[in-house]
Structure 1
């Protein structure tokens, strides 16, 4: 299952890693109940995904990664999320956290990513505090939503840089950095008792007064990538978030699959003479769901390709960044509407734990709550499209 990163086939159309994801999908799907019950990704599955190279999707080739086109990342994550939402989410977090390899100083990047099976994770939100000291930072923080952290070797936490307790300002804004530290130096708190994406193990991670050398930190806001390749000219937060709509699309596709399998078998009550598939309302719901999902996916891929082409020319604009986030948010929210409709027309059969449809419902509505694709992003995007001043640093 292990792949060499130097594959001659590297186009936005296909890549061997996609075949690996498709091959793994049935086995992952068969373990969905186990994953959900454990409230974390099983260690053996995480290691198998790492050996397959799925956490190296956006690591630079020079560090042994695949440096995939973002459209291929979407397809790989979507395939895994269709099999199991929690698995798709954990791969998304680990694989895209690894994009920081292109921003870190080369020796640090090699320290972390020289192991081809390394898994990184953490939380980008600047919840922590990093006090400037000689040679680096003293970091303290407790971050929620540290998905997949139990299987990570390295973690990163976003932090506001302080000096003598006061924020360090850079161009009128507090300086924000991502600081990397070995997982063994963090405390993981088992706080993940959630309605959906139960198997992601997204509990809290915490460090207290931990020294982190300066060279083990970077900033996606104020620093440029150190690897000069088109992938890293793609908007930084756009690359970090590219897997979010992919997870939602995969979950929605699974919901359509499940309804399509159920409808010919389940009978319309009370007489039970005809299958649910014969109901015009169900037929209409499936048709609209497929159209909604494919439209959202097409908009997402069109926008990703357009932005990547601009990145190859080093001409990414604020408009590109806004439309990219719009495509992410639209795909995620459209996926939730699709799942809602499939759950609704499935009737009472969908409410039981044995039904993957109820898991799809819970999973997709946790995905919609992520800050990068939640409803408030539309306000920021709309301000850009209307030419209204707004803080766009995180777009």
Structure 2
């Protein structure tokens, strides 16, 4: 028993160290984060296989909230249970939360978007995502049928960029996969280890819907600012599909017209959130700190991420049972192919279009790609090289 506890503690420490390193170096938005996770957890550490990772990404795309954070939580749960999910979340999220709370308290206004080192990190995101897509495409779209599904997903998400397009594309891909692969024999399907009971999952889903219904009622009955803050951030985290950028108009509508924060302060914080690593949902930490100090920042962070926790914990046990069902597996093969197309679409816009602005940028991206893929240098070296190279290029180009 003591040896088991020691191994469990060592696993949690390892998970905290790795997720914190990712939280300090994962620039570029949710798609880039998925690339970093793929590089670290699938390629390097082999904690899960390609298919399981793609299935987890597909589940996160179905659910509202920050997809990359939910994938990180899911990986932590698979590795070390619910505590592992919490540790993984803390490591990945805390660095940017601290930076944004400090920024809010200092009330500084700076234009980080044009900084050379920020542009260098955007180029790093291009490289990381490209590497992840190549690996996933090789394994998840091996035949013409799945390549066609990926192409359709790519075209759909590029041409109709709405909050619900991704969900619609995944549903259509599931239907296509079911029709094309319903008799497919997959003997290599790996059982994912989710140490969560269906009863616990059901409790999580009940809490999620319960808070969504009850918080607005309690808010009206009490008129406490803290309750109102928690309700606003919880609702934003519950209703957002399509990634962190989609949460911006929701939060702006909640806090700017009501006078809780000025338009100028809101936009300054959003610029800072773009400049730090980790999930964009940590923008809530800045807003909460501006409104009610560091305590408000921590409350806002907890409130906006709580739905992601409840949904991923509530869905994982049922998801694993579904994905191993013979007929459902065909649908998931279509979904996995669609995920590749969605990632390629997001790779082009906004990652590539906002990062590769000149031939010099493309040449620098090619250098970083070679360092990562062929020289096999560590990702943190690529991140550091990208930041320094971007700063140097800003002075000489």
Point out which structure has higher relative CO (alpha carbons under 8 A, 6+ apart): 2
TM (normalized to structure 1)? 0.27
Q: Provide the TM-score with structure 2 as the length reference.
A: 0.27
The structure that is helix-richer by fraction is 2
Larger strand fraction of residues: 1
